């Protein structure tokens, strides 16, 4: 892909994702330059299989919250969405820039002094000033959390930067982490791609302000909010995904983020249902119910 085209693509992507153009540029799909789809060329969904698996697990963590969560109580990834952050997907990395990177890292990675284990298997590979390189042991995929708005890790690795004493990559998988991962349903490639698409669109919005995902915690378009409970449940049964939520984002905003011709998931087709909408991607489908989830009584 010519450098001038890549710069233009980076500016287009940044207009939707809240990245800076410098942050967006490394994520432009240099590994798939001949893919005709504009959305694929922007690189949000073009990644390694390991990255796809990691992003799908993050979706299961971030979109399960409250008493009906699919995850155990000590996995509290949904609280990441309370912070002001930007997600920048790259072919072989997932970069999170945040105003409070320490807080975000503490929700992602477990540590001995708290019962929360973060994303099971996620570890600190190296610590830097206001930044961490993370490695997910089961998949081998990497993440970066940093306070630098362009996604950089400042300075050389420093042992004293891991002042939260987060678990490092030499700490093997704990039994409770193994149990949490083993309890999850099998995810096909199409299902992983669909869930990963939810993760990387956490902060997307329309450049003209007509829709906004708002990090799944705030509506930033001056419309009436949808409540403050922030209960979510994302469940999987074979290739069938079902998502319930009772607050932001507005249901039409999420649908648009996944199907928009510029920023949407290429190949995703959606249509309305009686109480939400249904989205197909390959053999996977996502049924969205933007209402309060009520568990079935035994």
Encode pLDDT of 277-286 as tens digits.
Answer: 999 999 999 9
pLDDT of residue 253: 94
**Mean pLDDT across 287-297:** 70
Strands 276-281 and 269-273: antiparallel
Q: pLDDT band for 39, please (50, 70, 90 cuts).
A: low
- Select the more confidently predicted residue: 101 or 247: 101
| pLDDT at 100 > cutoff 80 | yes
Nearest to 123 by CA among 61, 87, 167: 167
Please write the tens of the pLDDT for every residue from 160-197: 666 668 899 999 998 889 988 998 989 999 999 999 99
User: 155: left (phi > 0), else alpha (psi -120 to 50), else beta?
Assistant: left
Please write the tens of the pLDDT for every residue from 140-156: 999 999 999 999 998 88
Average pLDDT, rounded, for the chain: 88
- Give 29-55 as a DSSP string: -TT-TT---HHHHTTSS---HHHHHHH
pLDDT of residue 33: 45
Please write the tens of the pLDDT for every residue from 44-57: 999 999 999 999 99
| pLDDT at 115 > cutoff 90 | no
163: helix, strand or coil? coil
Q: Which residues contact 216 (CB under 8 A, 6 or more apart)?
A: 62, 63, 78, 81, 202, 230, 232, 245, 248, 249
Cα radius of gyration (the chain)? 18
Q: pLDDT band for 42, please (50, 70, 90 cuts).
A: very high
Q: pTM value?
A: 0.92
- Which range of 17-21, 105-109, 234-238 scores highest in mean pLDDT? It is 17-21
Give CA–CA dist 179/142, Å, rounded.
22
């Amino acid at each position: 892909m010519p450098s001038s085209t890549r710069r233009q693509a980076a500016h287009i992507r940044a207009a939707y994702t809240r990245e800076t153009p410098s942050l967006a540029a490394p994520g432009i799909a240099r590994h798939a330059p001949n893919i005709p789809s504009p959305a694929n060329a922007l690189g949000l969904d073009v990644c390694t299989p390991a990255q796809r698996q990691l992003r799908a697990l993050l979706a299961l963590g971030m979109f399960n919250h409250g008493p009906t969560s699919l995850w155990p109580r000590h996995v509290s990834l949904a609280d990441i969405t309370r912070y002001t952050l930007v997600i920048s997907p790259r072919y072989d990395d997932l970069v999170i820039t945040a105003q409070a990177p320490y807080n975000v890292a503490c929700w992602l990675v477990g540590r001995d002094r708290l019962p929360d284990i973060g994303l099971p298997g996620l570890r600190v590979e190296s610590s830097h000033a206001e930044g961490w390189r993370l490695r997910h042991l089961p998949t081998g995929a990497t993440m970066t959390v940093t306070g630098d708005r362009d996604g950089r890790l400042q300075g050389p690795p420093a042992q004293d930067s891991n002042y939260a004493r987060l678990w490092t990559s030499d700490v093997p998988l704990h039994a409770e982490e193994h149990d949490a991962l083993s309890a999850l349903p099998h995810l096909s490639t199409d299902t992983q791609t669909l869930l990963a698409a939810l993760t990387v669109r956490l902060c997307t919005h329309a450049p003209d302000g007509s829709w906004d995902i708002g990090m799944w915690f705030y509506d930033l378009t001056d419309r009436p909010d949808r409540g403050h409970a922030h209960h979510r449940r994302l469940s999987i049964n074979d290739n069938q995904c079902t998502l319930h939520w009772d607050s932001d984002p507005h249901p039409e905003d999420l649908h648009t983020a996944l199907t928009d011709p510029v920023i949407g998931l290429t190949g995703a087709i959606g249509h309305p249902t009686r109480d939400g909408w249904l989205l197909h991607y390959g053999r996977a489908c996502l049924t969205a119910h933007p209402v309060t989830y009520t568990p079935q009584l035994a």
